[in-house]
Chain A
Amino acid sequence: MRGYRSKFLSAAFVIASAVSAMAFSPSKPVEFVVTAGAGGGTDIFARTIQSIIQKHNLMSQPVVVTLKGGGSGAEGFVYGKTGAGDPHRLIFGTSNQWLLPMVAKVGWKREELTPVAALAFDEFLLWTRPDAPWKTAGELVAAAKAGNIKVGGSQSKDLDETLLRIVEQVAGIKTTYIPFKSGGEAAVQLAGGHIDLNTNNPAENVGQWKAGQARPICVFSPTRLAAGPKVTDTMAWSDIPTCKEQGLAIEEYKMPRVVYLPPNMPAPAVAFWADVLRKVFATDEWKEYIARTSQTGTFLAGEEFTRFMVADEARSRKVFEAENWLVK
C-alpha cells in the first residue's frame, strides 16, 4: 500500500512540476511596489489595479501595496531590482523607469527590470491662470518672447520640465521653470496666481479648472480628448484644442503608466502577469478609472512595449543632451 502511495505521489509531483514549468501562479502574497508617494498618480494606478483584481478574483493570493517613492521613485526601482527572480513583486511606475537613469546617478538600468505592460497614458495640458492675457498657444509664445514667463511643475528634470524644454526648443522661447514636489502643489500655486503656467495632467488640475481658478490652453495630443459631460459651465474636455492645432508643433507628449517585474524573470511568470493585467484592462472599472482621470487607455505588452520604451528613450535623450542633463 505504502509503495503505491509513494509512487502515486511521485507521479503527481512529476505532473505538477511539469505544469509549473508551463504555467505560473502566485504561491504567496504579492507585493505591489509603488515608485511614488502616497496619493499620487502612481499610487492610485496601483491601488485601482489592486481593487479590480480583488473584486474580479483574478488571482488567488492577497496583494500588499508598499510605497517606495524616495528619490523620485528611485527607491522603488532599486528595491525591485533586488528581488531578482521573484515573480511575487510587481513594480508600478511611469517612464521614470528609463528616464531617471539618464539624468541621475541611480542604481539600475532600463534593461535590468523585466517589462510587463503599459496600461494607461496620462495626458499633458498647458494650464494658465484665468486672468492671464494670452488665450491661445500662439499668444502665449508671443508673450514669452516679450517677457519672463514662470512655469511650475512637478520635480526637476522630470516629465514636466522635459516637456517645457521641448516647448522652448520648438517655439524658440526661454522661460523660468520652478520645480515643486508634486503637480498638486503646482496647481495650487497657479490658482494663487504665483506662477503663469503649469503642464499638469488632467486629474491634477481639474479641481481648479472647475472652480474657475485655472484655464486650459491646449493639450499635447494628436487629437482632442474624448468627449464627455461638461466639466465647467461651458466646456468639456473635448473643447480644449490640441497644441498642434494652435501652432505649437508638438505632436504628442504622454506619460505611460507601466508595470515591471524584477530581473531574471521566467517567461511563464511574465506571461501570467501580462494576462492578469490584460484582464484588468478589459473591466468596466478600469474604463471608469480611465474616464474619471481623463487618461487614454492603451495596452502595450511584450515587443510592442519594449519598442515604445526604446523610442521614448531616444527622443528624451536628445532633449537631455541639449539641456546638458545626462549623467556620465
Chain B
Amino acid sequence: MVENFTQLMQGFAVSLSAYHIALMMAGVMFGLVVGVMPGLGAPNGVSLLLPLTFTMEPVSAVILLTSMYWGALIGGSTTSILFNIPGEPSSIATTFDGYPMAKRGEATKALTFAFLSSGFGALFGVVVVTLLASSITKFALLFSPVEYFLVFVLAFASFIAFGAGSPLKTIVSILIGLALASVGMDTISGSMRLTYDIPELIRGISFLVVVIGLFGLGELLETMQNPYAAKAVTTRLDWAEVFRSAMIWPRHYASLLRSAIIGCWMGIAPGGPTAASFMSYGIGKRMSRNGANFGKGEPDGLVSAETADQAAGSAAMLPMLALGLPSSATAAVLLGGLLIWGITPGPTLFREKPEFVWGLISSMYLANVVAVIMALATVPLFARMMQVPFSITGPIIAMICVIGAWTVAGAPFDLWLLMVFGVVGFVMKALDYPLAPLVLGMVLGDRMEDAFRQSMLLSGGKFSAFLGSPLAVVISSLIALCILVAVMGAVRRRA
C-alpha cells in the first residue's frame, strides 16, 4: 500500500500539468452539459469526443474522457431531481426522494445534497481504487457466473425486501420488468424472443426510453391532473441557500459512509452503478432513522442513492483497467478508446504502464472536485426553474422527454414506445403499483437470466452450485439474511 502512495504521487506529477488541468476542466464542463440532457448521456458524449483523442497521448486522452464521464454522472442527477427524468439509468433511484424534495420547494437543497454526495462517493471510490489497485484482480477473478447471479439476486433482495407496499403489486411490477428485458436476441440460445418479426424489436426494448416514459411523461400526466401541485413553494433561491444546505449536509454521515461502501463493493463486484444505487437505497431505507419517510422526499434517501451511484462509477475503473471488463455503457466506450490508443487492459497494465494508470487515478481526485464545484455553481440557476409556472415547464419537460428518447437510438419506433410507457406509468401510479421494481427487473433481468443459465450450463443443472464456493456461500447467506429481515418486518407490522 505504501508503494501505491508513491505511485499515486508520481501520477499527480503527470496529471497536474497545466495542459491536463485544462483538459479536465473542459471535460467536466462538457460532461455536465451532456449529463443534464436525458438520453444524450455519458456514453454518447464520450463517443462524440473519442475522435478528438486519436492524436493525443493516451494519458491525456483518458483524462479528458473520464473527466467528461464524472461531469456527466454528477450532472445526470439534475433532471432527475427537477423533472423526475433520470438522465442516466444509475440516477433513477435519485428521483425517488430528489423529485419530491424539489416539488416541496427544496430544489436547492436537493441539488446541493446530490452534488455533494456524488462528490463524496466519487472520492471515496478513488481512495479505495488507490488502496486496492494492485490486489484487486485476484478478487474479481473469483466471480464465475454463479457469483454474478447471486450478486444480482442480492441487489434485488436488498431493494425489494426493505421496500414497503403491497407484495403482490411489487411482484407484478418486477415480472413486467423481466418480460420487457427478455425482448430481443437471447444471448444463450441466439434466437429472437418476443420480437414477432418486427425489425424494431430485434435490438430489444431500450431501457432508457421506458424509464423516460414511465417517470418523465408519466409524472407529467399525473401533474396535469393537479397543476398547482407542481408550483414550488417560494423560497429564496440564492447562494446563501446553497451554502446553508452544504453546512447541514455532513449530518448525513452515516448514510454517506454506508452508501459509499455499498457503492464500492458493487463497483468492483460486477454489479455496476445502477444496481449499486438501488441496493444502497433499499438498505438505507432499513438502516436510516428516517427510513419510513423514504420516497416522500427524505434527504437520507437522496444521499444513499447518489453516493452509491458515484462510488460505484469510480470503483468500476479498476475491473475495467485490470480485467478489461466494462461495468457500464460509458466504461465500454472508454475501453474501446484504450484499445485504439494502443493500451491493452489486463492484469499487467499496472506494471507495464504505471504512468498511464496512476496518471488516470490521480486525475480522478481532482476532476471530481472540479465537477462538484462547477455543478454547485449551477444550482441557483436550475433551482429557479422550479418557480416557473407549470403551463410553461410542462411543455418543456415533454419536449425534453421526446428528445431524450430520440437520442437513445435515433429510431422513430422509440417515440411510440415513449408514449405507451408514459401512459403505462400514469396508470400504474394511479393504481398504486410501484415503478421502481419494474425498472430494477428490466435493468438486472437480462444479465441475471444470462448468469443463471450460464451457471446451470457450467454445473450441469445442479442448484448446489450456488453454495459451491466460499464466496457463493457468503453472498447466499446475505440474501437469506435480507429475506429473513423482510419476513420479520412483515410479521412485526401485522402484530
Contact = CB atoms under 8 A, between A and B. Distances in A.
Nearest to B198: A107
Given A195-B458, A206-B344, A155 B190 contact: yes
Interface string A190-213: 011111000000010011101101
A70 B340 contact: no
A69 B140 CA distance: 27
A51 B54 contact: yes
Interface in B313-357: 323-326, 329, 332-337, 339-340, 342, 344-349
B203 A75 contact: yes
B1 interface: no
Interface in A205-256: 206-208, 210-211, 213
A171 interface: no
A194 B190 CA distance: 22
Given A155-B190, A184-B324, A189-B144, A213 B458 contact: no
Given A54-B54, A105-B197, A194-B144, A68 B203 contact: yes
Given A40-B336, A107-B202, A207-B349, A71 B324 contact: no
B50 interface: yes
A91 to B, nearest CB: 15
Given A70-B184, A104-B190, A176-B457, A207 B202 contact: no
A210 B349 CA distance: 10
B47 interface: yes
Contact of B339 (A44, A156, A185): A44
Given A43-B336, A179-B187, A194 B47 contact: no
A145 interface: no
A207 B47 contact: no
B188 interface: yes
B454 interface: yes
A223 B349 CA distance: 30
- Main secondary structure, interface of A, reads mixed
B478 to A, nearest CB: 21
B51 interface: yes
Interface in A142-162: 148, 150, 155-158, 161
A140 B204 CA distance: 39
Contact of A47 (B50, B55, B142, B450): B50
A285 B35 CA distance: 34
Contact of B202 (A48, A78, A150, A193): A78
A167 interface: no
A72 B203 CA distance: 8
A296 interface: no
- Interface residue tally on B, bucketed by range: 35 or more
Interface in A17-56: 37-40, 43-44, 47-48, 50-51, 54-55
Interface in A104-145: 104-107
B382 interface: no
A181 interface: yes
Nearest to B469: A194
A59 interface: no
Contacts of A181: 187, 450
Contacts of B191: 104-105
Given A50-B51, A68-B409, A188 B326 contact: no
Contact of B324 (A48, A177, A188, A192): A188
Nearest to A52: B54
Contacts of A213: 141, 347
Nearest to B195: A105
Interface in B51-107: 51, 54-55
B404 interface: no
A74 B202 contact: yes
Contact of A188 (B323, B334, B348): B323
A207 B185 contact: no
A103 interface: yes
A180 interface: yes
A310 interface: no
Contact of A178 (B324, B409, B458): B458
A161 B202 CA distance: 21
Contact of A70 (B185, B188, B342, B458): B185
A48 B337 CA distance: 10
Given A38-B336, A39-B336, A178-B454, A65 B47 contact: yes
A203 B345 CA distance: 10
Nearest to B203: A70
A207 B340 contact: no
A207 B342 CA distance: 12
B457 A178 contact: yes
19 contacts: A38-B43, A38-B335, A39-B334, A39-B335, A40-B336, A55-B55, A70-B185, A70-B202, A71-B192, A71-B203, A71-B204, A105-B191, A106-B192, A156-B186, A156-B188, A178-B457, A187-B324, A193-B141, A213-B141
Interface of B: 43, 47, 50-51, 54-55, 140-145, 184-192, 195, 197, 199, 202-204, 323-326, 329, 332-337, 339-340, 342, 344-349, 409-410, 450, 454, 457-458, 460
- Interface pairs A-B: 5 shortest CB-CB: A207-B346, A70-B203, A156-B190, A39-B336, A211-B347
